[in-house]
Structure 1
């Protein structure tokens, strides 16, 4: 079992949640849980790509922090038009991260 959290939301967000619960034929808790899980994954990906773009971490480390494969983060970086500064040293670092 997990923990219970509460959050105050605007009437608009509440209405949107109700529409989703009807559309998906799910209870509100399930919808909120799924949306929150998706938002956390998106946040982790965005944060990892931001760190990579700022040269704080390698692409392999960014994939690790986002919890996705190197191939997937390459695809996501292309979608978000992230500039690649990929050197031989970056490749070596990423291979080390994948091996761990």
Structure 2
């Protein structure tokens, strides 16, 4: 397992300590959990942006986000993203 070191502002450190206390985690576990959740959110946002720009098919966006197609459809609907273009339809059907 790799090691990461970072300096954080005092207010962020205090908020992290509150999270650690409330979740009853040790510092390393808490930071790994928050980092993982943040990267999951970032990956999903990137996939949705690429889908919206037409760079990837719907099924590829779901794969990039690490979610199933139903979850991606829900997320896309929440953000009012339309993905149903003719250029990707055949590829999406092949992927299903």
TM-score, normalised with respect to structure 1: 0.86
For structure 2, the residue ranges without an aligned partner over 5 or more in a row are: none
Q: How far does residue 26 in structure 1 lie from its aligned partner after superposition?
A: 0.8
| Secondary structure in 2 matching 1:65 | helix
Map of 2:89 onto structure 1: 91
- Normalising by the residue count of structure 2, what TM-score does the alignment of the two structures yield? 0.90
Structure 1 segments unaligned to the other structure (5+ residues): none
RMSD over equivalenced CA pairs, Å: 1.4
Aligned residue-pair number? 96
Q: Which residue of the partner structure matches residue 75 of structure 2?
A: 76
Q: Which residue of 2 aligns with 1:62?
A: 61
Map Cα deviations across residues 43-88 of structure 1 (whole Å, 9 max, x no partner): 0100000011111111111001111111110011112222x14145
| Residue equivalent to 2:7 | 8
Q: Which segments of structure 1 move beyond 2 Å, counting only runs of 4 or more? A: 87-92, 95-98
